[in-house]
Structure 1
Amino acid sequence: MKSIFKHTATIGAVLLLLGITSCKQVEIDTAQYADDAVTLASFGPNPVMRGAQLRFFGSNLDKIAKVNVPGVEPITSIEVVKSGKISEIRITLPVEGPEVGYVTLLSKDGDQFTTKSMLNYTEPIVFEGFEVAAPAFPGDVITLKGDYMNLVKKVLFEGGATVEVEEGATRHEAKVIIPASAKNGTIVLSDDGAVENLFYSELPLEMGEPTVKKAADAVIKAGKAVTISGAHLEMIEKIVAGGIEVTDFELSEDNSSITFILPDQSASGSILAISYEGNEYNAGDFESTVPVIDSVNPLPVKAGGILTITGKDLDLITSIDFEGAEDAIFAYENGKILVLVPETATEGKISLKLANGTSVESEITLVHPVIEAVSPLEVYAGDPTPITVSGKDLDLVVSAAMGGKALSIENKGETSLDLYTDATSVSGKVELTLANGELLVSEEEITVKYHALVVLTSRPSAQHIGQEVVLLGSNLNLVESIFIGDTKVTQYSIRKDDEIRFLMPWCKTGSYELKFQLYNGDVEIQAEPIGVLLEQTIKTIWEGEFAVGGWAAGFQPLSWGGYDWSSVKKGTTLMVYYSIDPAASYAPQLRFGNGSWASMPSVKSQFTSADGEGNIPLAEGSNYIALTLGAEDLDQLVNNGGLVLCGAWFIVEKVQLINDIPQERVLFEGDAEVNWNNAVTIPASEVATWEVGMELAIHYTVTPADYHMIRIINNDWSFNPDGNNAYNWNDLVGNSVIKKTVDAELLQNLGGKDMSFTGFGCNINLVTIL
């Protein structure tokens, strides 16, 4: 990066490296210099006054050990203003001796650097001293003594105040008025040049102190005006009242009083006046007004109702806390406070707080709901008949339970509410809970009966063959056997009263009754069927932890030769398990990318939430994402660098390839023309293995023809059913598959011979049996 040193100078003020004096801004390029090389770029002011400061600019000038100025001894007292590649040093020229000539800088290594131009001098300002009353106060006039005092433009006071010199200065004398913020210390004269010459006084200015009268102790209300009296109070920079700083105050014209508003946050304590010098003056102690509570009504008060508080100085209250509830909603009007009682409030103290941290308290009591009656006392779990609770102030109830199991609440009012059970409800007393945690329990106990002994609270709607089915509920220890349709479950991993886990047995895919055979001989059938899905092969191709950061590092172990994607077939599910990075600074997102990070072609059709670049927002609460690989996806994986998972703020934990295992057995696959021939023949040995109830599927494509037909025959055409029947299909256009359930009649008609398909106007592509 190019480093540019900028310095603005006026004509006759700055001597540049090339000795050119200019009123324009000049840029010195330091990029050409080594990082540790010493280089002199410019110096100034030139001409300069004897006794003033001379500045040098360049690189690494902090390495300069002495400066040779013609006419005087080498100067070794060097002020380093800035070190490094862009640096500045300063020296103070002696008043006596400096002559016109070139200035030479000598480094600690012995190297010399000489200015390109000669140093010249102007008639110097000579600062001999000043006269002022002792001690001095703001508004006093300082008389500056010396030579060329008419060239002095301003005076800098300790503490940072700068004041212009009064008009009418002469060569030997100038005057300046002391500002309010002036502090004890050196005063500095300035000629206010572009590179100003500064002249320091030998003796310090001694400032007097303000007088602050200490007032008698008083009780003061926040928001009221407070007045401090004294003398020279213009020297006060700030007020601290009860630990709170105040800088916004009014000063009287004669500087004898300060008036300020007592802040709301000020607690009882001292009022301190702090001068610009930093000295503290105690203006007296005070007590902040504390409100008084006269009454709190009504009592008891109902949660959600309005509590009225009367008293004195209640306008000072900034927040109200109840037991169990902070920052209640309230309003102050007409000298009283109206506060909304939070639902979570409990009996006890109510605390009214001020901005200064103090508070006043009062005791409150609350309205308590009452249960007077509960009916009926016997219900069936999950029935629509409610349990009705009668009583008082029941609208305060927020939840209900019975025997530890939650009940739903409807029709809640002050005098009654309805409770509804579900299939898992149990017998017990009614328990009503308020928002503040208060619990009401009925005297009566409700008996819960069941239409079924086994109750499920959680179960899957479907599961793949060979994968785990998890059932949660109650009374599961009553189950002897579980059936999926007519298929008995044989592999269990957990059998408990509230949980059963088993592997889905092999069944033909579809929807089946979930049946429980109980030890008492009863069979209970669940209302909702369970789906059986295809068995799957699951292959883990990577496992570990890989954080992608914020688009910083794509997951690439499976790219560019990391995995043989040519072995993956169309329709495979690519499953990615992940967790969200705790360092996430914005919403996590994932892209299924190829070796060049471009999105997979199928992403946009499978994820409607993906943006234009294929970035998929990761759903909150999920830990996996799946993409079904199409032909175009596999082409990218094989021919364009494999898989890269890129995006932001997720950690890859596992990558799997999942394939469904078909249940059908393929009898024929190809492209057989059907033209009143034995287009496809199934051997008699295969047909002999078939059982009644199996499903035969013939996949076909129609071809241009006057008509289209597929017919089942035996290979010698002795079974050749013509016309409209169960073995002859004429309506082929608009479809692509024929399904035929194997029955005893078909097997009998084939007579133990090979089975063939014939017809016209189509091609048979696939024949399967399930």
Structure 2
Amino acid sequence: MRTIYTEKYRWFRHIIMLLLVVVLLPSCEKEEVNNDPILHSFGPSPALRGGELRFIGQNMGDVTAVIFPGISGGTVQVTEIIVVNEREIKVMIPQDSGVGIITLVTTRGEIKTLTPITYSEPILINKVSPMKAKAGDVLTIEGDYLNLIKRVIFFDNVIVEGDSFLEGQTRKKIQLTVPAEAQSGKIIISNGEEIPIEVYSDDEIEIALPWVSETLDLTGKKPGEVIEIMGTDLDLVVSLVMPNEDQIPFEVTENEDGQSILFTLPENMSDGVVVMIPASGVEVAIANIGMALPTNVVAIPAESLRGGDLIKLEGLNMELITNIIFPGINEPV
């Protein structure tokens, strides 16, 4: 009986010890402390570039750098971190930071925000200069948050993309070359997004056009005659168009009196307006043509004519005659 009693209590002791292990093991696990940095939230978002951004979590003092996405690709790293306490840090948002996920670099690895940071900025145009410009001139746009701008749009949707801006685009200024196709009107600056923010200039920009001192009257002029017309900014002309819409060769020259455009009247000239056209496509009238015609024509002899008789025609501009048709005869002579 003693042996049976001892064995019974021996098994009882084993069961008690096993239960103690099961109970105490989770208690030991609960006593372990997690010292890893943990991010709970950040803000504000939308945020203002140049303003403060706060990160709330645990063990935030272990954060050594904050990496923002860049506006035009790449990243922007901030290492100047204000540690408020172990639960909060602050950083200044860089001016060239973009929309996207932020990465916190810690002594134990990296933490990424679950949501992207976005921005709320009032893109402004304060000044555009010069207000009168010519193709090839440098146009300066001043305002705020212009570092976000990816395109400038002139009247009639003439676009200058950001990669064509002159070097030195900043938050306060953009410079670009006025394109040859630009026309007078308000300009638009755009951030180039799928649903873009677009801001118009208050006033219209005047883009120079080729100009002539006076519209010439070419009435009575004949094919082959050379015409010279004085003007300004004639170097902008890309085509010269006759009334019948034919383009003809021309030459722009410069002398002490300024610029002049020269062209030869073609054989197929007709009545109407001669226009010059710059790259913008705006037509500028330079001359009106009233066709020279044969006048004061007299036939000698004019009476008692028979087949085979020789007739002499006299008058003005007779060299312009190309055909003669007699009454009752369909074929020209």
TM-score, structure 2 normalization: 0.60
2:205 to 286, 289, 308: 286
1:163 aligned partner:
75
1:348 to 269, 272, 277: 272
Q: How far did 1:213 drift?
A: 0.8
1:274 aligned partner:
190
1:211 aligned partner:
124
1:309 aligned partner:
229
Equivalent AA in structure 1 for residue 197 of structure 2: N
Matches within 5 A, 1:601-612: none
2:291 aligned partner:
366
Gaps of 5+ in 1: 1-122, 192-196, 380-385, 405-426, 432-445, 447-770
Partners of 2:64 and 2:129 in 1: CA distance: 52
1:322 aligned partner:
242
2:172 aligned partner:
256
TM-score, structure 1 normalization: 0.29
Partners of 2:38 and 2:317 in 1: CA distance: 93
Indicate conservation of the 8 Å contact 2:129/2:141, yes or no. no
Partners of 1:198 and 1:364 in 2: CA distance: 78
Q: 1:253 to 1:222 in 2, by over 3 A?
A: closer
Indicate conservation of the 8 Å contact 2:52/2:93, yes or no. yes
Q: 1:167 to 1:200 in 2, by over 3 A?
A: closer
Indicate conservation of the 8 Å contact 2:299/2:311, yes or no. no
Partners of 2:66 and 2:300 in 1: CA distance: 96
Q: 1:160 to 1:189 in 2, by over 3 A?
A: farther
Q: 1:203 to 1:310 in 2, by over 3 A?
A: closer
1:428 aligned partner:
329
Q: For 1:77-108, what per-residue CA distance to the aligned partner results, in whole angstroms no more than 9, with x for missing partners?
A: xxxxxxxxxxxxxxxxxxxxxxxxxxxxxxxx
Q: How far did 1:242 drift?
A: 1.9
RMSD value, Cα = 4.9
Q: How far did 1:239 drift?
A: 1.3
Equivalent AA in structure 1 for residue 159 of structure 2: E
Gaps of 5+ in 2: 1-34
Partners of 2:262 and 2:129 in 1: CA distance: 37
Indicate conservation of the 8 Å contact 2:190/2:197, yes or no. yes
Q: How far did 1:223 drift?
A: 3.2
Matches within 5 A, 1:333-344: 333-334=253-254, 335-344=259-268
Q: Percent identity?
A: 18
Q: 1:345 to 1:190 in 2, by over 3 A?
A: farther
Matches within 5 A, 1:600-679: none
Partners of 2:316 and 2:175 in 1: CA distance: 58
Q: How far did 1:325 drift?
A: 3.3
Q: 1:190 to 1:374 in 2, by over 3 A?
A: farther
Q: For 1:316-346, what per-residue CA distance to the aligned partner results, in whole angstroms no more than 9, with x for missing partners?
A: 3332222213322212221111123232221
Partner-residue secondary structure (3-state), 1:318: strand
Whether 2:141 is the aligned partner of 1:221: answer no
Partners of 1:388 and 1:151 in 2: CA distance: 106
Q: 1:220 to 1:153 in 2, by over 3 A?
A: closer
Indicate conservation of the 8 Å contact 2:66/2:102, yes or no. no
Normalized per residue, the structure richer in strand is 1
Matches within 5 A, 1:382-401: 400=323
Partners of 1:429 and 1:187 in 2: CA distance: 86
Partner-residue secondary structure (3-state), 2:205: strand
Matches within 5 A, 1:714-725: none
User: Which has the larger Rg?
Assistant: 1
Indicate conservation of the 8 Å contact 1:269/1:287, yes or no. yes
Q: 1:230 to 1:373 in 2, by over 3 A?
A: same
Partner-residue secondary structure (3-state), 1:260: strand
Matches within 5 A, 1:26-175: 126-130=38-42, 135-137=47-49, 155-156=68-69, 161-163=73-75, 165-166=77-78
Matches within 5 A, 1:717-736: none
Partner-residue secondary structure (3-state), 1:323: coil
Q: How far did 1:240 drift?
A: 1.5
Q: How far did 1:280 drift?
A: 2.1
Q: 1:175 to 1:165 in 2, by over 3 A?
A: farther
Indicate conservation of the 8 Å contact 1:226/1:262, yes or no. yes
Partners of 1:300 and 1:286 in 2: CA distance: 40
Partners of 1:225 and 1:267 in 2: CA distance: 15
Q: How far did 1:378 drift?
A: 4.2
Partners of 2:262 and 2:181 in 1: CA distance: 23
Partner-residue secondary structure (3-state), 1:315: helix
Normalized per residue, the structure richer in helix is 2
Q: For 1:524-573, what per-residue CA distance to the aligned partner results, in whole angstroms no more than 9, with x for missing partners?
A: xxxxxxxxxxxxxxxxxxxxxxxxxxxxxxxxxxxxxxxxxxxxxxxxxx
Q: Which of structures 1 and 2 has the larger relative contact order (alpha carbons within 8 angstroms, sep 6+)?
A: 2
Indicate conservation of the 8 Å contact 2:234/2:261, yes or no. yes
Partner-residue secondary structure (3-state), 1:269: coil
Number of equivalences: 272
